[in-house]
Amino acid sequence: MSEIFLDIETTGLSFKDSHKIVEIACIETNELVPTQRIFHKFINPERSVPDEAFKIHGFSTEFLKDKPKFYEIADEFLKFIGDNDLIIHNAPFDIPFINHELKLIKKDIISKNKIIDTLELARGKFPGTSNSLDALCKRFGVDLSRREKHNAVLDCELLREVYIYLLDAKEPKL
């Protein structure tokens, strides 16, 4: 069974405030071993990128202006994720953004029963402590040296390593 690790970067905290997705990445694994299939797109949000968001991910309005719009990548994205389980850190943040974009173009939304939220898993294992992706990487000794800013592909890679620890699984042999 394949799993898809998914992450997005956005212009802000809520699609309800007209914030949009600027980057989406998915990494496919089979029994948690990367298959080398990756979906990664920068997306033109059709709005400016606020300074607060730029400080987090480093993607400027200028950089994103010639990138495809969400509707232009939606079919490829949906085909990539297929019917696989999606492993996401803080799914209640990412999924509403994605589903909002899908609704706007009259596509089927992502079902909650296909989602594994690693933040929820971490909170169950480590209640009362910080369970951000950075905090979990530090807790499990996952190398964060490549992470200068948030980046959806790198965050998917880090999340896969963290997820293995959350499951009490061993790192798979490649």
Which residues are tagged catalytic?
150
Structure tokens at 122: 């971490």
121-142 residues labelled b (16+ CB within 10 A) or e (exposed)? bbeeeeeeeebebeebbebeeb
72 to each of 11, 22, 77, 130, 146, how far by Cα in Å?
19, 13, 10, 37, 30
